[in-house]
Amino acid sequence: MKCCANVYIKCYRIPTSCFHCISPDKNYNATVRRQLATQTDIFFYPLGVKSPYCSESIDAEDPHIIEGELCSKYPMCITLFPNLQGSTFMVRGCFESILRHSRRNEEQLQQDGCYLLRSLPMYANTVTMDYVVCTCHGDYCNTMPMPDVLPKPYSFGKSKILKVYMNEERNVLQLSTSNAKFMFSLSSLVWSLMLLSFN
């Protein structure tokens, strides 16, 4: 937020602009499409901004037919996609228009970076789906391409959020160092218990 030196003049904030689009979901089966469209704990499903270019890297100088939107509350942009192998589904937009209300209050998500979030299934015949959320500050900063998703196994443990980072040379997502150490410790503990059970 920028404030004028004169204390009698009201503070103002220049709105942040973000790319705003959603990929067509026709590549998925009916079950996955329903799960993407009906989840209520991660993101709002944008309407009227579908673009086949949404999951590609966006050149801010030549953004194809990608729309933009002004962010009125948070000076942040977001890129979101399911952690599914071979995924082509991506959502871009303002932090406030894409993320659900309960997720916006997560302080960790208000820091620039990528995070893995778990969505609980709404129906008995659907599985838990995880989403990657990448946040950034600045006009039209949500330009990243679709990376290779984070491979399983991984564990959320007691946390609702896993910090991940982008290996830009390989265009792949990886667990952050702290999460990787936790997974290594957990794996070592499991192996130790298995060895003890055989003795």
pLDDT, position 8: 38
Q: 193 exposed, middle or buried (CB, 10 Å; 0-12, 13-18, 19+)?
A: exposed
pLDDT, position 7: 42
In this structure, is residue 113 part of a structural domain?
yes
Domains: count for the chain: 1
In this structure, is residue 5 part of a structural domain?
no
Q: What percentage of the chain carries pLDDT values higher than 70?
A: 81
With a cut of 50, say whether residue 183 has pLDDT above it: no
In this structure, is residue 118 part of a structural domain?
yes
Structural domain for 127, as ranges: 16-198
With a cut of 70, say whether residue 167 has pLDDT above it: yes
Mean pLDDT of 192-199: 47
Residue 51 φ/ψ, nearest 5 degrees: -150, 135
In this structure, is residue 9 part of a structural domain?
no
Mean pLDDT of 100-114: 91
Mean pLDDT of 15-26: 91
In this structure, is residue 123 part of a structural domain?
yes
Mean pLDDT of 25-46: 86
pLDDT, position 86: 84
DSSP secondary structure letters along the chain: -B--SSTTSPPB-PPEEEEEEE---TTS-HHHHHHHHH--SSB----S-B-TTTTSPPBTTB-TT-EEEEESS-SEEEEEEE--TT----EEEEHHHHB-HHHHT-GGGGSSEEEEEEE--SSTTS--EEEEEEEEESTT---PPPPBPPPSP---TT-SEEEEEEETTTTEEEE-HHHHHHHHHHHHHHHHHHHHHH-
Q: Pick 166 or 111 by higher pLDDT.
A: 111
pLDDT, position 199: 53
User: For residues 57 and 64, is the Cβ–Cβ distance under 8 A?
Assistant: no
Residue 9 φ/ψ, nearest 5 degrees: -95, 130
Mean pLDDT of 172-196: 52
Provide the pLDDT confidence category of residue 102 given band limits of 50, 70 and 90.
Answer: confident
In this structure, is residue 10 part of a structural domain?
no
Provide the pLDDT confidence category of residue 63 given band limits of 50, 70 and 90.
Answer: low
Q: Pick 7 or 113 by higher pLDDT.
A: 113
In this structure, is residue 47 part of a structural domain?
yes
**Taking phi first (over 0 means left), then psi (-120 to 50 degrees means alpha), and beta for anything else, what does residue 93 get?**
left
- How far apart CA 183 and CA 153 sit, in angstroms, is 9
- How far apart CA 194 and CA 116 sit, in angstroms, is 29
- How far apart CA 95 and CA 66 sit, in angstroms, is 17
With a cut of 70, say whether residue 58 has pLDDT above it: yes
pLDDT, position 111: 93
Q: Pick 80 or 39 by higher pLDDT.
A: 80
In this structure, how many other beta carbons lie within 10 angstroms of the beta carbon of residue 161? 16
With a cut of 50, say whether residue 78 has pLDDT above it: yes
In this structure, is residue 111 part of a structural domain?
yes
- 101-110, 170-179, 183-192: range with lowest mean pLDDT: 183-192
pLDDT, position 149: 87
